[in-house]
C-alpha cells in the first residue's frame, strides 16, 4: 500500500515518541504546585497561561512518562530525581529584551515570567517556574536533555525565551478554497482544525499538536488563513463558540489562540457602510467584536491582519495609511491585553511587466518606513524575512532595520512553498539562523544589533507546515523544520546542526531512549546542507522564482516573466539579473544602512549568492568563486543533482535498520519523497541549463548534455 494512503492511523509521534521520555520516565518525579499563582502581571484580564489546565497536563505528562518507563511519581519526601515546582517569580531573573523602555508593556512582563530555572545538584534536578506554562517548558527541557539532564557537574541555569512572541500562523481555510484547497500552500493533507466547511468535531489531534509545539517553546497559534474569505471571516462572530473549542484544545499545553481577521469586517459582518479606521462607528464595531472574542476565549492572543495586499481589503480604500488601520484594531484589543500582528507584505500585484521603474522588493520599506513611531505599542509589524516572498535565497528585508520605534516581528515560512513543498528534503534552519544573525549595520561585534535583537519585542512568526497527514508534515523529515523553528524562536543563537541532532535524538529514539548512530549520521548527511543543495539546482544566484505559476512547484524559467506579480529575472541573450542599484537601477540598495547599501551596490563586493538579486550582469561575468555566471549555472545545477543522488544513496544505506531503528512507515514515505526530489532536481537542472544555453549560446565548458 502507498504510505500516502495511511490516513486513519494514529498520527506519527514526531519528536515525542515514548522512547524520548525514557530518561525522565525511569526516574522518581515530583510535581509541586502549592498554590496556583495569581494574575501574572496584575492586569485586569484573565490569566494568559491556562493555569489549571496546564497543571493537569503536567500531572498527566509525569504519569505517562513513568508508566511507560517504570519510574514513579513520588511525594517531595520520596527522594525524587526530578522536581518540578511552581514558585514565586522572584526565583527567576527577568529576561532582557534590549528594547527602548517606552515600549515595555504587558507582553514583556509575560515574557519575563516565561522562563524557568534548572538546578542540578548531585545528579538530582529541580526545575522551578513562575507559571504552569513556563514549568511545562522546563519539563520539556529536561525531556530534551535526556540522560544528560541528570549527568554532569552541578548547575544552576536560567532559561528564558529570547522573544516575547513566538507564533505559528496557519494558512488554513474553513471551506475548501476552489484553487488553494483546505490549506493555502499546505503540503501535508487537510487542516488539523477544519474539515470541509466546519471546525472538526474531534479536536484531539489539535491537543497532540499543541503538545509538540510546547516541547519546542511555541505558545501562540493563529488558526486561520491571512487571506480571509467570506466563510472564514465569520470565525470572528457567528463561529466564536467553535473558535472557543479550538482554544480549549490548545490550552492544556499553554498555547494561545489568535485569529486572522478581515479589515472589511465592519462592513461584511457588521453591515456598516464603511471600514474607515478613523470612523467612530467602525472603532466601536471593532471594540465590541473584541469584547465578544475575549468573553468567549478569555486567554485569546490577538488578531493577524493582511491588508491592502494581494486583494485583501485595507485602509488605502479610505485614504488612510497602515498605522491608522492597525491602530484602530489595536485600540479594540488593548483592554484585553491583546496584540495585533499587522503584516508588512504590501506591494503592487498588478504591475506592468514593461515598467522597469517599479520594484516589488522596494514596496514594504516604501510603505512602512515612513510610519515608524506611529504604531500603537500592541501592534507588531510582521515582516517577511526577505523583501520579495520566501524565496530560496533573498537578502534580509531592509524594513527590519528601518523601524526602531515599532515593535517588529520576523516572519518565516516553515511550509516549503518555494523550497520543495515538502517533497524535497530541505532543512531550513541554517537559513533562518543566518537571517536572525544578520547585522544590518555590519558584521562583527562592533557592527551593531543583529536581526534577532531588532525583533526581540515583536518576536517571530512562521507559516506552519502542519496538516492532517499521518506524519504531520507530508515529508517526515520536514518535521525537523517545525522543530527547529520552535527552538530558534526560543533561542535564536542555537546551532542548526545541533538542533538537528536534538530532533534526531528525540524522533528516532528507540523504546530505551537510544538512537542508532548510523541513523544520526545519515540524517546529518541528508539534511545539514540540504538548503544549499536545493538552491544549487533551482533559480541561480538569488534571482528567485522560475517556478510554475500558481502552484509554485517545479521549474518554469519564464513562468512569471511577463506577469503582473513583479517577479522578473530579465534574462536576454547577453545577461541576466535585476538591477537594483542606486546608480543605474531601481535604487533598492539605498534602503539598507551602510555598509550593506554599498556592499550590495557594487558588483565587485556583492556576495555571489545574491548577485542576480542586485545586478544585471553579462553571462561572462566572473564570480568571486572564479567561474563565469553561465558556467556556474551549468556546474551548480549538475552538482545539485549529484548531491540529491548522494542523499538517496545515504538513506538507502539504512535499509538493514528498518524497522528497528527506522520505522517502516517513515522509511517508505522518505523513499517515496526522495525519489520525487531526484526526478524534480533533474527536471530543474535540465530546464534551467537548457534555457540559459539557448539564451546565451555559450556552451558548457565541461561538455555535459544540455537539450
**Residue 468 interacts with ligand GCV (CB under 6 A)?**
no
79-98: which residues touch ligand GCV (CB under 6 A)? none
Query: 652 catalytic, yes or no?
Result: no
Q: 22 or 428: whose CB is closer to ligand GCV?
A: 428
407-446: which residues touch ligand GCV (CB under 6 A)? 417
Within 10 angstroms of residue 284's Cβ, the number of other Cβ atoms is 14
Distance of closest approach, residue 309 Cβ to ligand GCV, in angstroms: 6
**Residue 193 interacts with ligand GCV (CB under 6 A)?**
no
Reduced to 3 states (helix: H, G, I; strand: E, B; else coil), residue 336 is helix
- Whether residue 166 contacts residue 220, with contact meaning beta carbons closer than 8 Å, is answered with yes
- Whether residue 306 contacts residue 345, with contact meaning beta carbons closer than 8 Å, is answered with yes
Distance of closest approach, residue 545 Cβ to ligand GCV, in angstroms: 11
Query: What phi, psi does 677 have (nearest 5°)?
Result: -60, -40
- Per annotation, catalytic residue among 417, 609, 635, 667: 417
**Residue 227 interacts with ligand GCV (CB under 6 A)?**
yes
Q: At what angle do helices 280-296 and 240-250 cross, to 10 degrees?
A: 50
Within 10 angstroms of residue 531's Cβ, the number of other Cβ atoms is 24
Q: 144 or 185: whose CB is closer to ligand GCV?
A: 185
Q: 128 or 464: whose CB is closer to ligand GCV?
A: 464
**Residue 226 interacts with ligand GCV (CB under 6 A)?**
yes
Distance of closest approach, residue 418 Cβ to ligand GCV, in angstroms: 8
Q: What is the CA radius of gyration of the chain?
A: 25
Among 140, 163, 171, 490, binds ligand GCV (CB under 6 A): 171
Cell 486583494 belongs to residue = 311
**Residue 306 interacts with ligand GCV (CB under 6 A)?**
yes
- Whether residue 597 contacts residue 587, with contact meaning beta carbons closer than 8 Å, is answered with no
- Count residues binding ligand GCV (CB under 6 A): 10
Distance of closest approach, residue 47 Cβ to ligand GCV, in angstroms: 32
Instruction: Give the Å distances, CA to CA, from 561 to 22, 538, 547, 572, 632.
Output: 54, 16, 10, 12, 22
First to last CA, the chain: 37
Q: 310 or 660: whose CB is closer to ligand GCV?
A: 310
> Which has the closest alpha carbon to 387: 544, 199, 234, 573?
544
Distance of closest approach, residue 590 Cβ to ligand GCV, in angstroms: 25
Which residue has its beta carbon closest to ligand GCV? 227
Q: 116 or 418: whose CB is closer to ligand GCV?
A: 418
Q: 499 or 543: whose CB is closer to ligand GCV?
A: 543
Query: 558 catalytic, yes or no?
Result: no
Q: 62 or 304: whose CB is closer to ligand GCV?
A: 304
User: Is residue 516 classed exposed, middle or buried when 0-12, 13-18 and 19+ CB atoms within 10 A define those classes?
Assistant: middle
Q: 103 or 349: whose CB is closer to ligand GCV?
A: 349
Q: 310 or 512: whose CB is closer to ligand GCV?
A: 310
**What is the three-state SS of 615-668?**
CCEECCCECCCCCEHHHHHHHHHHHHHHHHHHHHHHHHCCHHHCCCCCCHHHHH
Among 61, 108, 172, 184, binds ligand GCV (CB under 6 A): 184
Query: 535 catalytic, yes or no?
Result: no
- Whether residue 414 contacts residue 481, with contact meaning beta carbons closer than 8 Å, is answered with yes
**Residue 394 interacts with ligand GCV (CB under 6 A)?**
no
Binding mask 597-616 for ligand GCV (x = CB under 6 A): --------------------
Binding mask 130-169 for ligand GCV (x = CB under 6 A): ----------------------------------------
Distance of closest approach, residue 389 Cβ to ligand GCV, in angstroms: 5
Distance of closest approach, residue 476 Cβ to ligand GCV, in angstroms: 24
Give all strands of the β-sheet with 124-129 in edge-to-edge order.
72-73, 28-32, 82-86, 124-129, 116-121, 155-159
- How far is Cα 301 from Cα 429, in angstroms, rounded to an integer? 26
Which value, to the nearest 10 degrees, does the dihedral of the CA atoms of residues 664, 666, 672, 677 take?
Answer: -150
**Residue 389 interacts with ligand GCV (CB under 6 A)?**
yes
Distance of closest approach, residue 573 Cβ to ligand GCV, in angstroms: 31
Set of cell numbers at residue 372: 515608524
Distance of closest approach, residue 186 Cβ to ligand GCV, in angstroms: 10
**Residue 182 interacts with ligand GCV (CB under 6 A)?**
no
> Which has the closest alpha carbon to 356: 596, 572, 609?
572
DSSP string of 324-389, one letter each residue: HHHHHHHHHHGGGT-EEEEE-----SS--TT-TT--GGGHHHHHHGGGTT-S-TTEEEEEESSSSS
Q: Which helix (H) or strand (E) holds 492?
A: none
**Residue 322 interacts with ligand GCV (CB under 6 A)?**
no
**Residue 345 interacts with ligand GCV (CB under 6 A)?**
yes
- Per annotation, catalytic residue among 310, 495, 572, 652: 310
> Which has the closest alpha carbon to 459: 495, 411, 390?
411
- Per annotation, catalytic residue among 108, 232, 389, 635: 389
Q: 218 or 226: whose CB is closer to ligand GCV?
A: 226
> Which has the closest alpha carbon to 361: 570, 590, 532?
590
- Whether residue 218 contacts residue 114, with contact meaning beta carbons closer than 8 Å, is answered with no
Residue ranges binding ligand GCV (CB under 6 A):
171, 184-185, 226-227, 306, 310, 345, 389, 417
Active-site amino acid positions: 310, 389, 417
Amino acid at each position: 500500500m502507498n504510505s500516502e494512503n495511511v490516513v486513519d492511523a494514529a498520527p506519527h509521534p514526531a519528536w515525542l515518541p515514548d522512547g524520548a521520555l525514557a530518561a525522565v520516565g525511569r526516574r522518581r518525579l515530583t510535581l509541586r504546585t502549592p498554590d496556583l499563582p495569581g494574575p501574572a502581571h496584575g492586569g485586569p484580564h484573565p490569566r494568559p497561561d491556562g493555569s489549571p489546565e496546564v497543571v493537569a497536563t503536567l500531572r498527566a505528562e509525569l504519569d505517562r512518562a513513568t508508566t511507560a518507563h517504570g519510574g514513579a511519581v513520588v511525594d517531595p519526601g520520596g527522594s525524587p530525581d526530578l522536581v518540578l515546582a511552581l514558585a514565586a517569580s522572584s526565583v527567576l531573573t527577568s529576561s532582557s529584551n534590549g528594547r527602548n523602555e517606552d515600549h515595555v508593556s504587558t507582553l514583556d512582563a509575560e515574557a519575563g515570567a516565561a522562563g524557568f530555572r534548572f538546578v542540578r545538584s548531585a545528579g538530582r534536578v529541580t526545575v522551578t517556574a513562575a507559571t504552569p506554562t513556563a514549568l511545562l517548558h522546563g519539563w520539556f527541557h529536561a525531556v530534551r536533555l535526556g540522560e544528560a539532564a541528570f549527568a554532569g557537574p552541578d548547575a544552576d541555569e536560567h532559561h528564558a525565551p529570547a522573544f516575547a512572541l513566538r507564533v505559528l500562523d496557519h494558512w488554513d481555510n474553513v471551506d475548501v478554497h476552489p484553487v488553494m484547497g483546505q490549506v493555502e500552500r499546505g503540503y501535508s493533507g487537510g487542516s488539523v482544525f477544519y474539515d470541509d466547511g466546519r471546525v472538526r468535531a474531534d479536536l484531539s489531534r489539535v491537543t497532540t499538536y499543541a503538545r509538540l509545539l510546547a516541547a519546542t517553546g511555541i505558545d501562540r497559534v493563529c488558526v486561520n488563513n491571512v487571506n480571509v474569505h467570506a466563510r472564514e471571516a465569520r470565525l470572528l462572530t457567528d463561529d466564536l463558540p467553535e473558535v472557543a473549542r479550538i482554544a480549549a484544545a490548545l490550552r492544556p499545553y499553554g498555547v494561545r489562540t489568535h485569529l486572522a481577521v478581515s479589515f472589511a469586517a465592519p462592513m461584511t459582518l457588521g453591515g456598516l457602510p464603511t471600514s474607515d479606521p478613523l470612523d467612530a462607528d467602525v472603532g466601536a464595531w471593532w471594540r465590541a467584536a473584541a469584547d465578544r472574542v475575549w468573553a468567549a476565549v478569555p486567554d485569546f492572543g490577538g488578531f493577524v491582519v493582511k491588508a491592502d495586499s494581494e486583494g485583501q481589503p485595507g485602509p488605502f480604500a479610505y485614504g488612510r495609511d497602515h498605522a491608522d488601520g492597525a491602530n484602530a484594531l489595536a485600540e479594540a484589543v488593548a483592554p484585553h491585553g491583546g496584540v495585533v500582528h499587522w503584516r508588512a507584505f504590501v506591494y503592487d500585484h498588478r504591475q506592468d511587466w514593461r515598467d522597469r521603474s517599479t520594484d516589488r522588493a522596494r514596496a514594504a520599506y516604501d510603505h512602512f518606513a515612513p510610519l515608524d513611531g506611529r504604531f500603537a505599542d500592541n501592534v507588531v509589524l510582521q515582516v517577511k524575512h526577505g523583501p520579495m516572498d520566501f524565496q530560496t535565497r533573498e537578502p534580509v528585508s531592509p524594513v527590519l532595520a528601518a523601524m526602531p520605534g515599532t515593535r517588529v516581528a520576523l516572519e518565516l515560512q516553515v511550509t516549503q512553498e518555494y523550497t520543495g513543498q515538502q517533497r524535497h528534503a530541505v532543512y531550513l534552519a541554517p537559513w533562518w539562523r543566518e537571517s536572525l544573525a544578520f547585522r544590518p549595520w555590519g558584521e562583527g561585534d562592533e557592527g551593531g544589533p543583529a536581526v534577532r535583537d531588532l525583533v526581540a519585542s515583536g518576536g517571530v512568526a512562521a507559516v506552519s507546515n502542519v496538516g492532517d497527514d499521518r506524519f504531520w508534515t507530508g515529508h517526515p523529515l520536514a518535521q525537523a523544520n517545525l522543530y527547529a523553528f520552535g527552538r530558534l524562536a526560543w533561542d535564536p543563537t542555537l546551532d542548526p546542526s545541533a538542533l538537528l541532532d536534538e530532533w534526531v535524538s528525540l524522533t528516532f529514539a528507540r523504546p530505551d531512549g537510544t538512537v542508532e548512530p548510523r541513523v544520526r549520521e545519515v540524517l546529518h548527511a541528508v539534511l545539514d546542507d540540504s538548503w544549499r543543495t536545493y538552491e544549487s539546482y533551482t533559480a541561480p544566484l538569488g534571482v528567485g522564482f522560475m517556478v510554475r505559476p500558481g502552484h509554485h512547484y517545479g521549474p518554469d524559467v519564464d513562468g512569471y516573466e511577463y506577469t503582473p506579480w513583479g517577479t522578473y529575472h530579465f534574462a536576454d541573450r547577453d545577461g541576466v539579473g535585476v538591477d537594483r542599484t542606486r546608480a543605474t537601477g531601481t535604487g533598492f540598495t539605498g534602503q539598507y544602512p551602510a555598509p550593506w547599501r554599498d556592499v550590495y551596490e557594487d558588483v565587485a563586493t556583492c556576495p555571489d549568492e545574491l548577485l542576480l538579486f542586485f545586478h544585471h550582469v553579462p553571462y561572462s561575468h566572473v564570480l568571486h568563486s572564479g567561474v563565469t555566471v553561465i558556467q556556474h549555472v551549468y556546474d551548480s545545477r549538475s552538482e545539485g543533482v549529484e548531491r540529491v543522488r548522494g542523499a538517496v544513496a545515504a538513506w538507502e544505506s539504512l535499509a538493514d535498520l528498518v524497522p528497528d531503528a527506522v520505522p517502516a512507515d517513515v522509511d517508505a514515505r522518505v523513499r517515496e519523497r526522495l525519489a520525487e526530489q531526484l526526478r524534480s532536481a533533474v527536471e530543474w537542472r535540465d530546464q534551467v541549463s537548457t534555457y540559459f544555453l539557448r539564451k546565451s549560446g555559450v556552451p558548457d565548458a565541461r561538455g555535459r548534455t544540455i537539450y
